[in-house]
Amino acid sequence: MTFFSRKFSDLPLDKNTYAGFWSWHMSPTKFTLICSALFVIFYNTAFFKALHAAVPIENVKSALFFVSLSLLVGAATALVLSLIVLPKITKPVMAFIFITAASVSYFMNAYGIVIHQTMVQNTIETDTKEASGLLNGTLALYILILGIIPSALLFKIDLSFGSFKHETWNKLKLWGGILLTLVLLIAPFTADYASFFRNHKNIRQMANPVNFIYASISYASASNKSITVKPIGEDAKLNAKSATHTKPTLFILVVGETARADRFSINGYNKPTTPLIAQQDIINYRKVFSCGTETAVSVPCMFSNLTREKYSDKKAKSQEGLLDVLKRSGYSVLWRDNNSSCKGTCGRVTYESLKDLKVPKLCNDRECFDNILLHGIDQKVSAMSGNKVIVMHPKGSHGPDYYNRYPSDMEVFKPVCKVNTLQDCTSEEINNAFDNTIHMTDQFLNNTIEWLKVQSSTYNTALIYLSDHGESLGEKNLYLHGMPYLFAPIEQKHVPFFFWFSPNFEQENRIDRQCLKAQTDTEYSHDNLFHTMLGLLNVTTSLYNPDLDMVGACKE
């Protein structure tokens, strides 16, 4: 037993000696290589499935290239871990990595997600209620078997660190060996590697634990930089047309959550998911696409004047957004939330979270349903002055526990998946549960429009509904959302969008409804929201781009 601290035959009958029997002596280099092998073999099922799909083993050359890629991941893992294996910090840090890698392995295997910087940001910004919707027994088993047990065992290892000079030399030898290995692995397949990394960038983001270590460092690096918020639209003011209005404006913007455009029956879906808003006089756009595939990107992006191509989290956080410009022009602005915050977009306007209220019929013991966003709204509007904009942020279709997004009497499509381990449900059950969330959204939107109709005796009322991103429901073995935009399927990017205008709003703003209806098959995106809102609300500013205003060409 070469790993044990002593030979069994040499052990004296002393309890202290027996306590040391289960302590392994191991060099830091050997520890690094063993941990790397464990991670590659046991924590990368999703990676190897994706790799096999991209590089099918059809002949000897493809088999050797597959092995080369696998060893390359092992070498890269060893290189990263070698930077962590240091005196005093190795065991607690490695324990954290084992437990996190176990969780990452579960989510990649269960939902087909990819770990990248914005996914880490999404995780950090998720509230406890959203996080609890992801917890289940399978995840607990992953954490126990692949996380806690290996972590407990590593504390039994006696790492033999030498002097600084000795350890530095050993690190240099290890890095030299890894570098030589990388050269030997890549050299025979240079063209194959060039093609692989060009065409399958998403697969490299699946190598566990390198993926989340790199993503976490990238997120922490970006987050640690101090940010000064720069004012924009300082010249914003209401135009002359607004002065001719006989009533103040009351405008509601509903920022939907995880809604897919193709699941709205008003967009041609074959199940009656939106029967109520179909009866409203809406102007519905069928080809609208999101800025991102996760809330942490899409919401800040849609409220920014940055287009998707120019958007970055740092840029968006470094400047004000749409709500600031509206407030500066004279609008009273209120954000009502039943979700996990406004992601920084409402930091300088009035914010109200309703998700933790306890209102009978609108809430259960776990959460509030989206109609809570209309609770007490009359008093809120009365307390606001002048022209008013209210942003509503519902829970919508957030998964994977779709069945929690609506009350039992709204479960119209059956059978339903009633667990958050979607892989344990049939496709029919998953789709029915998701479709029920759209049906619930239909009721909430209809209730909001009906409330606005009542307010139309006092205000010129209008509403926009636009979702932040879509959702995968098992297509291509993907679930949920958050794939890198370049590789994300259309299901995660195609979002619903519609206008509702009261007759007075339409008339006083001289909107040509037939002109708008003629454009409903034109392709738009989140890029249009900022400028469309400015145009509809009669705000003049040098920021305004008429080419991105969906309504501008249809106003007299």
Q: Which tens digit of pLDDT belongs to each residue from 224-256?
A: 667 789 999 999 999 998 989 999 999 999 999
b/e string for 182-217 if b means 16 or more Cβ within 10 A? eeebeeebeebbeebeeebebbbbbbbbbbbbbbbe
Q: Do residues 438 and 259 make contact, with C-beta atoms less than 8 angstroms apart?
A: yes
Do 432 and 351 fall into the same domain? Answer: yes
Tell me whether residue 550 is in a domain: no
Q: pLDDT of 144-155, one tens digit each?
A: 999 999 999 999
Q: How many CB atoms lie within 10 A of CB 411?
A: 17
Do 295 and 340 fall into the same domain? Answer: yes
Q: Do residues 483 and 264 make contact, with C-beta atoms less than 8 angstroms apart?
A: no
386 torsion bin: left (phi>0), alpha (psi -120 to 50), beta (else): left
* Sequence-distant (≥ 6) Cβ neighbours of residue 426 within 8 angstroms: 415, 417
Do 341 and 404 fall into the same domain? Answer: yes
Tell me whether residue 461 is in a domain: yes
Helix (H) or strand (E) holding 341: none
Do 342 and 394 fall into the same domain? Answer: yes
Total domains in the chain come to 2
| pLDDT of 4 strictly over 60 | no
Select the more confidently predicted residue: 410 or 120. 410
Do 330 and 380 fall into the same domain? Answer: yes
Do 218 and 253 fall into the same domain? Answer: no
Do 317 and 218 fall into the same domain? Answer: no
Q: How many CB atoms lie within 10 A of CB 312?
A: 14
Do 273 and 161 fall into the same domain? Answer: no
Do 134 and 264 fall into the same domain? Answer: no
Tell me whether residue 141 is in a domain: yes
How large is the average pLDDT for residues 77-103?
Answer: 94
Query: pTM value?
Result: 0.84
The enclosing domain of 296 has a CATH number of: 3.40.720.10
Do 183 and 272 fall into the same domain? Answer: no
Do 473 and 382 fall into the same domain? Answer: yes
Which of 465, 298, 296 lies closest to 370, judged by CA?
A: 465
Tell me whether residue 416 is in a domain: yes
Last residue of a domain, one of 184, 208, 223: 223
* Residue 503 DSSP SS3: helix
Last residue of a domain, one of 208, 223, 238: 223
How large is the average pLDDT for residues 528-551?
Answer: 98
Do 343 and 213 fall into the same domain? Answer: no
Select the more confidently predicted residue: 232 or 197. 232
| pLDDT of 370 strictly over 50 | yes
Tell me whether residue 511 is in a domain: no
Tell me whether residue 232 is in a domain: no
Tell me whether residue 553 is in a domain: no
Tell me whether residue 510 is in a domain: no
Domain extent for 470: 249-504+522-539
The pLDDT score that the predictor gives to residue 13 is 45
